[in-house]
Structure 1
């Protein structure tokens, strides 16, 4: 008997009359409108708001520390421990609370498009719009699969249940708790739907490496010749935008895994940032937002119900959730071969990293472990302007295991399958945030296209004196002066100073990787190297 079945209160809750199982998209839309949880846009999508929590709440995320997790999890500020007794007590309080709700909604499906590694999951939602979100983000079970579906992990989401910190052992009214022993994710106090998605990603980051499969915070697509590309990066760096390419088929936009057979999507949908979204700049994402899609914290015109993607009055972290089949050229099922090209995306708010550079294997490992970017406004609660950050493996908030676990697996696969690796800066140029401007999206697309098509293989390169990166001096569709960051600044001395400061930050951050091989340590910025 599984750990979930031993928790009989959950099984009893699922048989209650007010619990609605596996509702269709139209049924859920009707529930959402009838319960006044959201609004219908002019294109038929659902628009909902998330209250005080418009981004993830990392300080409220916990992992239950027990005999199963104690020796495996990389405990610290990212993976905060909570004891099993505290978790179980809160778990039962949440179940009693949900039992008294008017209706609950249950989704049954899977995480993982490869049948050999997929995880059967169920999501129990207090809100119908959260259930629609879950249906669109994960892989729904077919009618036949539903009959024999046994969830190996359950997400319980009770956004209106507010924790009492000094009673419930939390840091605030919100909490996201994962128990690997009981195979439960418990969410409360926050209406931000992204917590549901990312909690299952965290679960997969724990489970898959134990099966010799590398989970990755990246998007992926495939070219006409079958060439596969991965795009690593934190929220706001352009994974969704750059992987949605009319000339390539989309495998997925955010979460993948790399097995001995190739890559596969962990999800069944996309969760795109839609701040300043336009049909001209991002046509595939724009056209995907119709009936069945969910808009999160996007403001609607009161009369026409047209989304105003430029309105940031609630948050800059406005989002659109939609299933993969809302994109025309996708891979179904979402599986493909081994990657030919790997792109690390960073949104550098200092404006000193080059827009594109080719990495050696050692540099690839250094930058993967570093995971440098700038947290953009709204992606986490309290972030209102870009902040420089280092997030190991470009996904530290979702990694229960030590970063070296994932980095070593990636290095082995780069070697085994001879993948090329590029670092692409989608952040600022011509100056730091506030003085410079954001990278031109069309230029970035041209650079990515050139990398994927092999057009940069024979291009002359310039070695950056501070970061040691090999920068192409020419790229089709991109002005030459854009490629060398120092040339884009009005004040070269100011650039030099900013570059040295960022190099020092790289070095200071990498000190925590004491056991990294010397050749990887030496692959970082040249300036100030210890």
Structure 2
């Protein structure tokens, strides 16, 4: 493997504890049942009839990327890809904010939890999470790896995460944009989250830290993807932005779930685990969730699970998954073993297949395409999907959305550094990469129809089982993609998207516009 462009760096691993005020009421590593009792006693949530907790995140129902910062210091100044995503923060200002945040805990109840991120021990990162809300502590229990009985809970950690929604910054004093903030000090091994109750900030801040440390220290490729494995142990990865079907398609009853969101790919031997889950749980979107469409996720929502910003059917404690009145970004966290066929430990060999999922609202991408290694590199750098009307304020027509590596918001290093690692891996292990359009056919949003989930599942199943190995492929004129001429369980007229459009000239014009947008975007990355 070629050397990385930046040298490995040392990370703090001896900052095992912070000097909390002496009058803090400290509750350490409570069991889930005890945390549920705390949550109910504190008025932080309600129980649904399934036994799951329903909690509200307050003003913020999602991440606020413009309020996320990384401390710029001697270690990070030449390695971070500084810009709108990775905004620099002054080290001295961080220290002052940290001290004030710790002091504000005086006389308050504080919950702590020891956890790990990374299912392969040689790449595992030790965490200490400090929260002022019991439900945030239960969220951390769900989402990170839980130590076994032999693992000490008071040893040194690599990162300490302090989370206090009640603590707000003063932009004039602290140098933040707003009162809410997420700040990573990668050299110090401390992450501060304040002014927001959205729990997703906790998991994604740790993901961002791993996206920095693992490539530099170990040459591990961190990935924003889901993973599962078949009965023979073959691994598949699913990359995709929100709304493309990553969680849904990876939760396959015929395969074992490794994880639904964050993984690493280590350069290990062919008979050794190479893919490993960073997390110990799932954080699934649940808007319009039904047992019919997503039975594995639906049945995972029981005692110990946390539903965020959900409403009940009036007069009951039955969850109304169709209610998006608080936010369309309704979520549920639960330990991965709530999924019946979850793989433990959450590891697998190098993948035989990778699927890039794009919800193409223009309706021009083929539903399934086989990619060359160069095309895989390009589509990985693009990270394409499309927003549709009604999903965001001001979006009135389909809008192309690009997120390099399918996770630009969490990448401290330059996107091409991750893409180079991916290209090296797929060529080294002979991994086949596929592009899957889970979006529209027969026209764009408002004209065409959404791809049937059953057809998408059939195409992925055909790729995984080798049913496409002897099928002839044709080449798409505008995108240069290889598309199968037949696929079990899928009508032949769906495979080439132009065949689903009434007016072929309109299709060709729309496809060329998107292909040109791809080319222009690649020049920018």
**Once the two structures are superposed, what CA deviation does each residue of 1:231-286 show, in whole Å capped at 9, x if it has no partner?**
11122221111111111011111101011231110000011111111111111000
One of 324, 330, 335 as aligned partner of 1:318: 330
Q: In 1, Cα distance between the equivalents of 2:15 and 2:128? A: 16
Q: How does 1:479-518 map to 2 (within 5 A)?
A: 479-513=491-525
**Aligned counterpart, 1:87:** 94
**Aligned counterpart, 1:132:** 138
**Aligned counterpart, 1:41:** 48
- Residue 177 of structure 1 and its aligned partner are, at CA, apart by 0.6
**Aligned counterpart, 2:103:** 96
Q: In 2, Cα distance between the equivalents of 1:118 and 1:2? A: 13
- Residue 2 of structure 1 and its aligned partner are, at CA, apart by 8.7
Structure 2 residue runs without a partner (length 5+): 1-9, 269-273
One of 465, 475, 478 as aligned partner of 2:487: 475
- Residue 16 of structure 1 and its aligned partner are, at CA, apart by 4.7
- Residue 12 of structure 1 and its aligned partner are, at CA, apart by 2.9
Q: In 1, Cα distance between the equivalents of 2:145 and 2:92? A: 32
Q: In 2, Cα distance between the equivalents of 1:209 and 1:201? A: 13
User: Are the counterparts in 1 of residues 181 and 194 from structure 2 also a CA contact under 8 Å?
Assistant: yes
Tell me: CA distance 1:381–1:228, structure 2 relative to 1, closer, same or farther (3 Å): farther
User: Are the counterparts in 2 of residues 55 and 380 from structure 1 also a CA contact under 8 Å?
Assistant: no
Instruction: Choose 225-234 or 87-96, whichever is displaced more.
Output: 87-96
Q: How does 1:249-328 map to 2 (within 5 A)?
A: 249-261=256-268, 262-328=274-340
Q: How does 1:399-414 map to 2 (within 5 A)?
A: 399-414=411-426
Structure 1 residue runs without a partner (length 5+): 514-530
- Residue 143 of structure 1 and its aligned partner are, at CA, apart by 3.7
> Is 1:113 matched with 2:119?
yes
**Aligned counterpart, 1:354:** 366
Tell me: CA distance 1:396–1:402, structure 2 relative to 1, closer, same or farther (3 Å): same
**Aligned counterpart, 1:425:** 437
One of 342, 350, 353 as aligned partner of 2:354: 342
One of 237, 242, 251 as aligned partner of 1:235: 242
User: Are the counterparts in 2 of residues 54 and 381 from structure 1 also a CA contact under 8 Å?
Assistant: no
Instruction: Choose 364-373 or 488-497, whichever is displaced more.
Output: 488-497
* RMSD after superposition: 2.2
Q: In 2, Cα distance between the equivalents of 1:214 and 1:295? A: 31
Q: Secondary structure at the match of 1:477?
A: coil
Q: In 1, Cα distance between the equivalents of 2:395 and 2:30? A: 36
User: Are the counterparts in 2 of residues 300 and 306 from structure 1 also a CA contact under 8 Å?
Assistant: yes
Instruction: Choose 45-54 or 284-293, whichever is displaced more.
Output: 45-54
One of 151, 159, 167 as aligned partner of 2:157: 151
TM-score, length-scaled by structure 2: 0.93
**Once the two structures are superposed, what CA deviation does each residue of 1:424-449 show, in whole Å capped at 9, x if it has no partner?**
11122222223333221111111111
Q: Secondary structure at the match of 2:317?
A: coil
User: Are the counterparts in 2 of residues 295 and 318 from structure 1 also a CA contact under 8 Å?
Assistant: yes
- Residue 353 of structure 1 and its aligned partner are, at CA, apart by 1.1
Tell me: CA distance 1:329–1:379, structure 2 relative to 1, closer, same or farther (3 Å): farther
**Aligned counterpart, 1:29:** 36
Q: Secondary structure at the match of 2:20?
A: helix
> Is 1:436 matched with 2:448?
yes
Tell me: CA distance 1:381–1:89, structure 2 relative to 1, closer, same or farther (3 Å): farther
Instruction: Choose 220-229 or 433-442, whichever is displaced more.
Output: 433-442
Tell me: CA distance 1:201–1:382, structure 2 relative to 1, closer, same or farther (3 Å): farther
Q: In 1, Cα distance between the equivalents of 2:164 and 2:81? A: 27
Q: In 1, Cα distance between the equivalents of 2:230 and 2:74? A: 45
User: Are the counterparts in 1 of residues 128 and 157 from structure 2 also a CA contact under 8 Å?
Assistant: yes
- Residue 147 of structure 1 and its aligned partner are, at CA, apart by 4.0
- Residue 503 of structure 1 and its aligned partner are, at CA, apart by 1.4
- Residue 5 of structure 1 and its aligned partner are, at CA, apart by 6.3
- Residue 489 of structure 1 and its aligned partner are, at CA, apart by 2.6
> Is 1:60 matched with 2:67?
yes
Q: In 1, Cα distance between the equivalents of 2:196 and 2:399? A: 23
- Residue 460 of structure 1 and its aligned partner are, at CA, apart by 2.1
Q: In 1, Cα distance between the equivalents of 2:71 and 2:53? A: 35
Q: Secondary structure at the match of 1:400?
A: coil
**Once the two structures are superposed, what CA deviation does each residue of 1:156-199 show, in whole Å capped at 9, x if it has no partner?**
11112222322221112221110011111111111111111111
Q: In 1, Cα distance between the equivalents of 2:392 and 2:134? A: 24
> Is 1:398 matched with 2:410?
yes
Tell me: CA distance 1:115–1:240, structure 2 relative to 1, closer, same or farther (3 Å): same
User: Are the counterparts in 2 of residues 213 and 260 from structure 1 also a CA contact under 8 Å?
Assistant: yes
Q: In 2, Cα distance between the equivalents of 1:217 and 1:326? A: 21
User: Are the counterparts in 2 of residues 277 and 309 from structure 1 also a CA contact under 8 Å?
Assistant: yes
One of 20, 32, 35 as aligned partner of 1:12: 20
One of 182, 193, 200 as aligned partner of 1:194: 200
